[in-house]
Every structure is written in structure tokens, then in C-alpha cells.
Amino acid sequence: MSVAETIGDENSLADAEPLLRVEGLKMHFPVTEGLFMRRTVGHVKAVDGVSFTIAPGETLGLVGESGCGKTTVGRCILRLENPGAGKVVFAGTDIAGMKASEISKLRQDVQVIFQDPFSSLNPRQKIGSIISEPLRVHGIIKDPTKRRERVAELLRICGLNPRFADRYPHEMSGGQRQRVGIARALSVNPKFIVCDEAVSALDVSIQAQVINLLEDLREQFNFSYLFIAHDLSVVRHICHRVAVMYLGKIAELADCDELFDNPRHPYTQALLSAVPVPDPTVEEARSHQILEGEVPSPMNPPSGCVFHPRCPQAIETCRREVPELQEFSPGHMVACPVVLGK
């Protein structure tokens, strides 16, 4: 079975030299059966040929419904999973092909903020120890007094009282814990941070604070973010560009405003029409596009375009040919033969 790899034209995606370039990334998890003779009966195609680039200082949003593979993309970039195929080029080196022993340096450049602030901190460690451990292990700051000062500074940067260093995670609220998670990620001076649903477990008011913090940090330290989320309003607020994923593939990738104002892919249109508008008259006048059916199993995805069984605009070609992500207008990539007018 050959699946066309959707390799984007990187020059059109970002003007600057990309910090991160993902090319044809695939991650298939084997599904095994049988008690004695383990046979692989199929693969869950969590990520199936994803390509994008991220420029220095840029935030790329990655949206899509649950199970579409967006978290797996993040984990592959972090090398928490070993990608099955494709390239993840970070600052000129291919992460995907790295040996385990070479990854240590990468760990300082690429960091992660997790979704759940309650399980992402070790409950047996004090906050100060959580933040200073990377500094100690990587030998970034060897002097214990200076290390304590740095921890206090990181806590201040993240809007926490430096006295929190002596507390345990269970003594803090969700928002405070998430700030600790951010401080931990910052401790190694990363260039790139994967925010895996970093705000979706928080209250709305806390979400806003954390998002503002992430934006401030981006301006201050010139990070790039891969912002994985399913909340479209959050994505619109923080991201420069947005990629929409469906069933392991990127359906559409465009500048943030362009994508929200002028969505092209039928899936993106459906996704955006599901977001309520806070004006009742506008909301009533709007045409809602409700998708029929369920998301197909990623173990046995539909032929051709994976979206075609639910797509209101599907034509015969969609059933047979796997659409490639192609440029619709400058910087606006769509994987849909109907939109591209074929």
C-alpha cells in the first residue's frame, strides 16, 4: 500500500529559514492479536504523511478533533515516540534519525508543556526541585546558590511567587501548576516549545492568563511554538499560522486570519461553522454545516481522501486519489481536489 507523501513546498510556507521542518512524518502503531503467536493484524495510522515548517519566533497551531493524531505529531518532534517514516529537521539536524545517545542535546532546545497540570508534575518533588533538576542534570548552572536564584527568577517570569519553590505540587491550583510546567520548560533555555493542549484543562479565566504569559514569553525570548489545541478561538488568538488535521493528515494549512476568514477545505469549513458566534442575530442567520457520520477508524482509513465519506462536496476523484497538500493561494495550502479545481 503506497500513500502519497504530502511534502509541502517549504519556500512558500515561510520566508525565513525554518527552525523546524517536518517532512512526510508517519507514525503507525501496530495492532497485535493472539496469545502465543503475536501477529500484527493492522496499523493505527495515527500520523500519515504530515509536513509543515515553523520559522523562528513563529507559532503554528495544530487543530483537529480528538484522535486525529495532533498529539502524536508533537510527541514525534519531542522524540517521545520514534517516528515510523519521514524527517523532522530541527535547526539543520534530522531528529527522527537520531540515535538515543545523541538526543540529550536536543532535549535542551525542544521542550514541552503538557495538557494536564495535575499529572505533569511529580507529586513527590518540591517545585524548586522540579525546576532546578534540569539545570543540575545538564550542568547549566553548577553553583547551588545561583541555581536557587535562577529558579526564583523563572518563577517570577512565569508570574509566581518565588516562595512557591518550597511547596509541593498538590498545594497549588491548576493554573499555578501549569505555570510551574512552563517554568520547567523554560529552565533549559529552549528554542522551540511544543504546547500540547497546554490550556485546555484550565478554567477560561486562567486560560487567558496562561495564553498571555505564553505570548509574553514568545516576545521576550523569541521562541517558536507548536500549539496543539482543539479550541479554535484560542488558536486564532495566539497562532501565526494554523494547520488543520483530519485522521492523520493535514487538510489545510494557512495564515491564521486567512484560514479563519476564508476556509477552503470542506472539513475546515465544517469545523469553523461549529464554533458559535457570540452575536445571536449573526448566529441565527449563519448556515450550519453539520457533518454526518463518525470519524472513520484510523486502523482502516477510507481510500482516497480520508474525508470523502463525510464530505458534502465529494466527487468521484476523492474516492480514488489521495489528495496532496497543494498551494491554493500564496501561503494557503489545501489538500482537496474539489477546491483546487481538478
Site residues, another protein (CB under 8 A)? 78, 80, 103-104, 106-108, 110-112, 114-116, 119-125, 133-134, 137-138, 181, 184, 188
Q: What's the min distance (Å) between Cβ of 50 and another protein?
A: 20
Strands of the sheet containing 249-255, edge to edge, are: 110-113, 192-196, 224-229, 59-63, 241-246, 249-255, 332-334, 326-329
Cα(118)–Cα(213) distance, integer angstroms: 19
HEC secondary structure over 297-323: CCCCCCCCCCCHHHCCCCCHHHHHCCC
Nearer to another protein, 22 or 201 (CB): 201
Nearer to another protein, 119 or 222 (CB): 119
State the amino acid at position 19 in one-letter form: L
CB 96 within 8 A of CB 87: yes
Cα(294)–Cα(200) distance, integer angstroms: 23
Sign of the four-CA dihedral 108, 59, 63, 68: negative
Alpha-carbon torsion angle 58, 59, 60, 64, nearest 10: 180
CB 46 within 8 A of CB 28: yes
Q: What's the min distance (Å) between Cβ of 152 and another protein?
A: 20
Phi, psi for residue 246 in degrees, rounded to 5: -140, 120
Q: DSSP readout, 239-293?
A: -SEEEEEETTEEEEEEEHHHHHHS--SHHHHHHHHTSPPS-HHHHHHSPP-PPPS
Q: What's the min distance (Å) between Cβ of 22 and another protein?
A: 17
Nearest to 325 by CA among 2, 1, 4: 4
Nearer to another protein, 49 or 74 (CB): 74
What b/e string do you get for 65-80 counting C-beta neighbours within 10 Å, with b at 16 or more?
Answer: eeebbbbbbbbbbbbe
Nearest to 200 by CA among 240, 222, 227: 227
